[in-house]
Amino acid sequence: MLDNVRAAVAHRPKQPLDIETLSLDNLFPGEVLVEMKAAGICHTDLTLFDGSRAWTDYPLVLGHEGAGVVAETGPGVTSVRAGDHVILGAIPECGECPACRSTRLTNLCDTFFKPYPRRPFSLDGRPVRAFVELGTFSSHAVVRETQVCKIRSDAPLDVVCCMGCAGATGLGAAAFTAQVTPGSTVVVFGLGGIGTNVIDGARICGATRIIGVDTNPAKEKTARIAGLTDFVNPKDIAGDLVGHLREITKGGADYAFECVGSAQLWTQAVECTRIGWGTAVMVGIPPSSHETIAFRTRSILEGRRIMGCYIGNVKTRSQLPELVDWYMDGRLSLDQLVSARIPLEQINEGFAELKAGNVLRSVVQF
């Protein structure tokens, strides 16, 4: 039992997070105690307390992007031990279910969809939920071994913490899910933390033209460092955006990535790809998973392909280390993703900066 755990807790929607002192339960078999070193502030966390998503399970420790050091392991844990540097993953990799064992393209471990009723955090004896069973905005966390990825110890945790969500989602969408081919033309909708990593991934795959679409002109600079070749601000386009994108790509892009989570943008992402082999990949998460999206039936009959992924289809434990190697080999622009490093006490300011579009990622350091 740990008693002095400092964590950012959402108690109800449309209220700032409170910094609370929580307790953490002893380890169950298969669980790991992680001393958190750094955690990235992602837009998905924001939607869980700003009222834009229907969420009722409060109190809630937020945070699903994080890196730290293993402090203790529970019975039966074999893949990590005390002192190991780890990145936490929102999607478990049990290694045993049909999805984990398959060589097909998916990271959707069966256990991700099974309720895990454990509530290791508590506040004054009352159990506290952890978002995606992680809760990385906390000095310590008890998580399942299947959500813990051991990484090389020379990787800076205050940067590679962003691999858990933004890095894996963007890089994986381009390199694992779409498998962008050399010489391709790519359109990326939304140039935030995810979009920037899609650009990195597309560039590594050999895309020669990468067009970014965003209404915030301040996003152009960082996207160019990642590999953007053309910036399109929809506000500057006189006619329709899809027509413009088709024109500058001479008939349509080979790949389009929607990184915002907007049904309207998703339609445009499909329609801006070329006939025959254009591939549209849904990366952003809409506020409601029941939202419907529309496009012309002909768009599909014309041979376009539609794909989607959570966390880029990157398997948490077996595939994240390779992405860390990409960073350590100097192939990624991940350093610039971390716009600010802040203490836990400033987390609400970090969310405000993200909402205002002033930062790609603020990283909470413990």
- The verdict on 42 binding Zn ion (CB under 5 A) reads yes
- The verdict on 97 binding Zn ion (CB under 5 A) reads yes
Q: Decide: 195 and 188 in contact? Cβ < 8 Å.
A: yes
Choose, by CB under 5 A, the member of 17, 32, 67, 109 that binds Zn ion: 109
How many other C-beta atoms lie within 10 A of the C-beta of residue 352?
A: 15
- The verdict on 48 binding Zn ion (CB under 5 A) reads no
DSSP 68-127: EEEEEE-TT--S--TT-EEEE-SS---SSSHHHH--SS----GGGGS------EEETTEE
Is the CB of 165 or the CB of 173 nearer to Zn ion? 165
Is the CB of 141 or the CB of 245 nearer to Zn ion? 141
Q: Which two tokens stand for residue 206?
A: 């050999």
Residue 64: CB minimum distance to Zn ion, A: 6
Residue 264: CB minimum distance to Zn ion, A: 21
Is the CB of 70 or the CB of 132 nearer to Zn ion? 132
Query: Per CB under 5 A, which region of 94-102, 209-217, 294-302, 316-324 contacts Zn ion?
Result: 94-102
Burial 206-237 (b: 16+ CB within 10 A, else e): ebebbbbbbeeeebbebbbebbbbbbbeeeee
Residue 191: CB minimum distance to Zn ion, A: 16
Geometric angle at alpha carbon 81, from 76 and 83, rounded to 5°: 160
Choose, by CB under 5 A, the member of 165, 191, 253, 320 that binds Zn ion: 165
How many other C-beta atoms lie within 10 A of the C-beta of residue 24?
A: 22
Is the CB of 109 or the CB of 211 nearer to Zn ion? 109
Is the CB of 42 or the CB of 363 nearer to Zn ion? 42
Is the CB of 245 or the CB of 309 nearer to Zn ion? 309
Q: Decide: 314 and 320 in contact? Cβ < 8 Å.
A: yes
Residue 84: CB minimum distance to Zn ion, A: 21
Choose, by CB under 5 A, the member of 24, 67, 88, 94 that binds Zn ion: 94
Please work out the total of residues on this chain that contact Zn ion, with binding judged by CB under 5 A.
Answer: 7
Query: Per CB under 5 A, which region of 10-18, 37-45, 52-60, 153-161 contacts Zn ion?
Result: 37-45
Query: Per CB under 5 A, which region of 105-113, 117-125, 218-226, 357-365 contacts Zn ion?
Result: 105-113
Residue 344: CB minimum distance to Zn ion, A: 18
- The verdict on 232 binding Zn ion (CB under 5 A) reads no
Side chain identity, residue 105:
L
- The verdict on 134 binding Zn ion (CB under 5 A) reads no
Is the CB of 62 or the CB of 123 nearer to Zn ion? 62
Element holding 18 (H helix, E strand) = strand 18-24
Per DSSP, helices labelled H in the chain are: 43-47, 98-101, 157-160, 166-172, 193-204, 220-226, 241-248, 263-271, 297-301, 316-328, 334-337, 347-355
327 three-class SS: helix
Query: Per CB under 5 A, which region of 90-98, 149-157, 170-178, 300-308 contacts Zn ion?
Result: 90-98
Looking at beta carbons, which pairs linking 233-236 to residues 24 or more positions away fall under 8 Å? none
Is the CB of 123 or the CB of 191 nearer to Zn ion? 191
Q: Which residues are at the interface with Zn ion (CB under 5 A)?
A: 42, 44, 94, 97, 100, 109, 165
